[in-house]
C-alpha cells in the first residue's frame, strides 16, 4: 500500500439561504419557516425531506492522513457559519500539495458531488483534483474523477461491485470487522445538533466515522494483498497509538478506544 493516503468524510446541513434564493422566498420569512415549508411540501408529496446535493452546506470535512511521517486526524470546520469556502479550498489544497490516494465511503455518491457543487458556488480552485491527463499524463489513466480508477477509491462502491442494491452501511461493516463503528450520533442527527450549537460534537462524530473508514480500508488492503499480515497489524497498532495520544485532549477518542474490542 503506497503513501500518502487521505481518507475523508463530510458532514453537511441544509443550505437554507440557497433554498430561500431558489424558491424566491420573501426576506421577512425566517430560515426556519422557509425550511419547514419546503419540508412540508415534500412530505405532502410523499418524498424525502433530504435536500439535493447542491443544497447541502458543508460544516465539517474530516480526514485521516497516512504518510511516511505517520498517521494524523484533522478536521476543517466552518466555525463561524461563513467559512464553507475556506473548508472546501483547504481540502482541495491538501490534494494539490500531497497528491494522495483518496479513500471514502460513498464519496462518489455523496461527498465528492457535494464538494463539486459547493466548490463551484464559492469559486474554489482545484487544479490537480480535476486533472484528467491534460497536465499530467499519468492522470489520463488514473485520476480522481473516473469511477473505475483507483486514485479515488469509493470503498463502498467497489465492495458492492458498483451495484447500488449491494451497498452496505459503514457502521455495520466496521462493527463486523471488530472496529467501534458509529459513536454519538448518525448523519440524520447532524442538522438537529447544529441547530443546538453542537458543532464540536458534529466534528467528533465525523472524525470517528472517518477513522472507521480508514480501518476498513486497511482491512481491504490486507484482503487484496496491499498489506501483509504483519503490515496490517502494524497499521492497526499505529491507529491505536495515535488515538491514545489524542485521547487526553479529545475524549471522543477515549470513548472510541474503549469501544474497540
Residue 261 has pLDDT above 80, yes or no: no
User: What are the grid coordinates assigned to 160, written together?
Assistant: 458492492
Sequence-distant contacts of 168-171: CB under 8 A, at least 24 apart: 170/105, 170/106, 170/209, 170/212, 170/213, 170/216, 171/212
Phi and psi at residue 39, to the nearest 5°: -60, -40
The H helix count followed by the E strand count for the chain is 11, 5
Residue 259 has what pLDDT?
Answer: 97
C-alpha cell at 74: 484533522
What is the domain partition of the chain in residue ranges?
A: 5-259
What is the per-residue pLDDT across 6-65, written as a single tens digit (0 to 9) for each?
A: 999 999 999 999 999 999 999 999 988 999 999 999 999 999 989 999 999 999 999 999
What average pLDDT does the segment 206-210 reach? 97
Closest CA to 29 of 11, 15, 43, 16: 16
Architecture of the domain defined by 5-259:
2-Layer Sandwich (3.30)
Per-residue confidence at 195, pLDDT binned at 50, 70, 90?
Answer: very high
The answer to whether the CB of 210 falls within 8 A of the CB of 64 is yes
Give per-residue pLDDT as tens, 212-256. 999 999 999 999 999 999 999 999 999 999 999 999 999 999 999
pTM over 0.75: yes
Angle of the 16-23 helix axis to the 31-44 helix axis, nearest 10 = 70
Amino acid at each position: 500500500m503506497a503513501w500518502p493516503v487521505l481518507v475523508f468524510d463530510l458532514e453537511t446541513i441544509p443550505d437554507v439561504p440557497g433554498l430561500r434564493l431558489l424558491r424566491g422566498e420573501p426576506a421577512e420569512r425566517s430560515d426556519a419557516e422557509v425550511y419547514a415549508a419546503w419540508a412540508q411540501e415534500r412530505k405532502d408529496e410523499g418524498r424525502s425531506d433530504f435536500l439535493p446535493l447542491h443544497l447541502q452546506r458543508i460544516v465539517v470535512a474530516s480526514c485521516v492522513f497516512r504518510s511516511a511521517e505517520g498517521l494524523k486526524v484533522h478536521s476543517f470546520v466552518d466555525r463561524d457559519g461563513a467559512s464553507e469556502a475556506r473548508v472546501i479550498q483547504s481540502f482541495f489544497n491538501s490534494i494539490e500539495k500531497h497528491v494522495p490516494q483518496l479513500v471514502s465511503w460513498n464519496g462518489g455518491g455523496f461527498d465528492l458531488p457535494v464538494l463539486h457543487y459547493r466548490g463551484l458556488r464559492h469559486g474554489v480552485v482545484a487544479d490537480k483534483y480535476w486533472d484528467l491527463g491534460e497536465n499530467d499524463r499519468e492522470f489520463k489513466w488514473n485520476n480522481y474523477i473516473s469511477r473505475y480508477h483507483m486514485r479515488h477509491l469509493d470503498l463502498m462502491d467497489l465492495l458492492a461491485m458498483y451495484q447500488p442494491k449491494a451497498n452496505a452501511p459503514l457502521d455495520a461493516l466496521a462493527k463486523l470487522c471488530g472496529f467501534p463503528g458509529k459513536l454519538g450520533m448518525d448523519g440524520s442527527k447532524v442538522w438537529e445538533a447544529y441547530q443546538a450549537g453542537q458543532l464540536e460534537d458534529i466534528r467528533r462524530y465525523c472524525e470517528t466515522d472517518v477513522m472507521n473508514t480508514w480501518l476498513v480500508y486497511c482491512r481491504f488492503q490486507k484482503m487484496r494483498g496491499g498489506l501483509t499480515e504483519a503490515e496490517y497489524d502494524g497499521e492497526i497498532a499505529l491507529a491505536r497509538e495515535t488515538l491514545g495520544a489524542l485521547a487526553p485532549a479529545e475524549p471522543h477518542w477515549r470513548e472510541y478506544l474503549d469501544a474497540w474490542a
